[in-house]
Amino acid sequence: MWEVRRQSRYHPGFQVSRVESWRMFAELLQDLEPWPGLHARTWAVLESLPAAVQRDFLDDPRFQITIDNYTPEAGWTLWMPVPGPPGEGSRCVVLRKRLEWCHAGFAAWVIAHEFAHAWLRNGPWGEISDVEEAADAVAAVWGYLRPPGTWADFFSIPS
């Protein structure tokens, strides 16, 4: 059902129109709507990605963007593993609510890094076998570098 709905919106061989891609981004980012800042930040990163990457995401019904369910018992870590082995299973980008208000450049870098994992299907990139380094490298190619600063800078100063 989901697949049919997605496919009907995708026309191979044609440039996806601005209106069409706007609608598809809105659908992908639905889960983030309760956090308008995070929604806007994620939208901006998604919109900036190369067209081939956007199409890969939009055309894959397994690709999803969602918000994490923070539980105090489980603690808090920045990186969420992408479920499933490389190239298989879900391509779910899970974002932290802290990305709503933390330093804007840092948030953009984290979001791009997560998109890079999804693009690489949580796998390596060329000769970069470490999946975290691979995601950083892809994010850098997309124009997202970790801004200089400490954790405290990113999470205490309003951006």
Q: Which of positions 117-136 make contact with Zn ion (CB under 5 A)? A: 132, 135
- Helix crossing, 18-28 with 51-58: angle to 10°? 50
Q: Which of positions 43-82 make contact with Zn ion (CB under 5 A)? A: 79
Q: Which of positions 133-152 make contact with Zn ion (CB under 5 A)? A: 135
Closer Cβ to Zn ion, 46 or 82, answer by number? 82
How far apart CA 36 and CA 33 sit, in angstroms, is: 6
Closer Cβ to Zn ion, 16 or 67, answer by number? 67
Q: Which of positions 4-33 make contact with Zn ion (CB under 5 A)? A: none
CA dist list (Å): 137 to 5, 34, 92, 102, 103: 33, 31, 20, 22, 21
In the complex, least distance from residue 113 CB atom to Zn ion, rounded to whole angstroms: 5
In the complex, least distance from residue 141 CB atom to Zn ion, rounded to whole angstroms: 15
In the complex, least distance from residue 93 CB atom to Zn ion, rounded to whole angstroms: 11
- Tell me which residue has tokens 């129109």: 17
Query: E strands, 10-62, where?
Result: none
Q: What is the Cβ-side half-sphere exposure of residue 150, based on CA atoms within 13 angstroms?
A: 2
List contacts with Zn ion (CB under 5 A): 79, 132, 135
